[in-house]
Amino acid sequence: MSTITVENLTKTYGDVEALVDISFEIPDGEFVVLLGESGAGKSTLLRCLNGLTSPTEGTISIGDEEITGPRDDVAMIFQQHYIIGQMSAYGNALTGSLNRTPFLRSLLQRNDRADKIEALNALDTVGLLDEAGQRAERMSGGQQQRVGIARALVQQPSLLLADEPVASLDPASAETVMGYIRDAAKSRNLTTIASLHQVNLAREFGERFVGLKDGELVFDGYREDLTVDVIDRIYGNIETSSIRNEREANA
């Protein structure tokens, strides 16, 4: 695992500047929450980080290596879980090892013993060891998302990315799933960047925050610096007023 360095990253789509001259550095093992309203550039930044999109200008590196395309050691958790319904939780988790299993062997389900142990470990990490044999389609949305986390862990990534991983879940499941992502990352010292649009969840789970507005980096700092004014800068007044109301209600 190593430092992630984003340097002068710009991404344009035609006339749209999705990211404008973004630079930041993330040390090993940090849990970063990416904040920004819809259209701010969060998904574009995550896609550049996982190599699915190439920068218009600037570079992203993991350690000394510049990211030039998709890498096996960068795992991504999506809002939709993209898991295979007819397969068990265990089978789904095991697909995270496909990048190091020859195709024919995986087809015959002859995965390495080490990979199988890894899959069970990952399911244990997300609290689903007892459900390992359960068909994914029978599981709740939150459980399916936890299977997606397990699969990402089995990939043995050096960087974990999550694009609005709890956006489709109810508030209670969102909390649970965010808790599992954070605990999994922390117990493995896994550098993680997760985008979240819910400010309250972000403040609860984030350690470091990167705020985007209209493709520009408007905040980069730690929890104690994430003041109401900063949230204003990132979101405008709507979110802030809800936090102010909440504070007044709690006062």
177-203: burial string, b at 16+ Cβ within 10 Å, e else: bbebbbebbeebebbbbbbbbbbebbb
Binding of Mg ion at residue 155 (CB under 5 A)?
A: no
**Footprint of ligand ADP on residues 40-69 (CB under 6 A)?**
40-44
Quick one: which segment of 13-21, 25-33, 106-114, 149-157 binds ligand ADP (CB under 6 A)? 13-21
Minimal distance in Å, beta carbon 172 to ligand ADP? 24
Binding of ligand ADP at residue 13 (CB under 6 A)?
A: yes
* Cα–Cα dist 57/143, whole Å: 39
3-state class (DSSP) for residue 76: strand
Q: Binding residue for ligand ADP (CB under 6 A) from 4, 6, 9, 18?
A: 18
- Which of Mg ion, ligand ADP, none has residue 181 at its interface (CB below 5 to 8 Å by kind)? none
Binding of ligand ADP at residue 142 (CB under 6 A)?
A: no
14-25: burial string, b at 16+ Cβ within 10 Å, e else: eeebbbbebeee
Tokens 């007023």 belong to residue? 241
**Footprint of ligand ADP on residues 24-43 (CB under 6 A)?**
36, 38-43
**Footprint of Mg ion on residues 29-68 (CB under 5 A)?**
42-43
Minimal distance in Å, beta carbon 11 to ligand ADP? 8
Quick one: which segment of 12-20, 65-73, 182-190, 222-230 binds ligand ADP (CB under 6 A)? 12-20
From residue 240, give the alpha-carbon distance in Å to each of 66, 198, 213: 37, 12, 15
Tokens 């709690």 belong to residue? 250
Minimal distance in Å, beta carbon 193 to ligand ADP? 13
148-158: burial string, b at 16+ Cβ within 10 Å, e else: bbbbbbbbbbb
- Phi then psi for residue 224, to 5 deg, are -65, -20
Contact code string over 174-193 relative to ligand ADP, x by CB under 6 A? --------------------
- Which of ligand ADP, Mg ion, none has residue 36 at its interface (CB below 5 to 8 Å by kind)? ligand ADP
- Which of Mg ion, ligand ADP, none has residue 197 at its interface (CB below 5 to 8 Å by kind)? none
**Footprint of ligand ADP on residues 69-128 (CB under 6 A)?**
none
3-state SS string for 21-37: EEEEEECCCCEEEEECC
Distance of CA 33 to the CA centre of its chain: 8
3-state class (DSSP) for residue 8: strand
Residue number, 120 or 199, with CB nearest to Mg ion: 199
Q: Across 30-158, where does the E strand assignment appear?
A: 31-35, 57-62, 65-66, 74-77
Residue number, 36 or 96, with CB nearest to ligand ADP: 36
Where do contacts with Mg ion occur on this chain (CB under 5 A)?
A: 42-43
Where do contacts with ligand ADP occur on this chain (CB under 6 A)?
A: 13, 16, 18, 36, 38-44
